[in-house]
Amino acid sequence: GEDVEQSLFLSVREGDSSVINCTYTDSSSTYLYWYKQEPGAGLQLLTYIFSNMDMKQDQRLTVLLNKKDKHLSLRIADTQTGDSAIYFCAESIRDTGRRALTFGSGTRLQVQP
C-alpha cells in the first residue's frame, strides 16, 4: 500500500542548512516530489525527482533519493526566514490508474533569525 512518512517538525537557524526527511513504502513509485505550503495557502511545487535518479540539485535545493531504503530527503542550503513553511513529500505511483499524489504528513520548518 501507499504510505509516506515525515518527521513533524524541524527548527534551524538562519544561514544553516535544513534537511527534511521522508520515507515511503511503495517501491513502484515513479516520481517523488517536494511541495511547500505557507500558512493558509495552497501547495507550491519545489522540485521532483524521477525514481531512477539518486540526486537532483536546483539552486539551494538538493534532493537525495535512496531507492533501496525508500528514503527521500530535501536539503535547503543557506536557509532563510522566508523558508519557514510546511514541506510535504509526495509520491506518484505507476500503473494505479489514479495518478493522484499521495502526501506525507508534512514537516513544519521553523527558521530562527
Judged by the rule CB under 8 A, the positions of this chain that interact with other proteins are: 30-31, 33, 35, 40-45, 48, 50, 88, 92, 98-106
Q: How far is the CB of 49 from other proteins (least distance, A)?
A: 9
Residues 6+ apart with CB under 8 A from 112: 11, 12, 13, 14
Q: How far is the CB of 15 from other proteins (least distance, A)?
A: 27
Whole-angstrom CA distances from 2 to 12, 49, 87, 108 are: 30, 18, 19, 22
Please tell me the distance from the alpha carbon of residue 113 to that of residue 6, in angstroms, as a whole number: 24
Could you give phi then psi for residue 58, rounded to 5 degrees? Answer: -145, 95
Q: How far is the CB of 86 from other proteins (least distance, A)?
A: 9
Residue (29 or 78) nearer to other proteins, CB: 29
Residue (17 or 105) nearer to other proteins, CB: 105
Residue (19 or 45) nearer to other proteins, CB: 45
CB distance 89 to 4 below 8 Å: yes
Residue (39 or 82) nearer to other proteins, CB: 39
Residue listed under C-alpha cell 518527521: 7
Q: How far is the CB of 38 from other proteins (least distance, A)?
A: 10
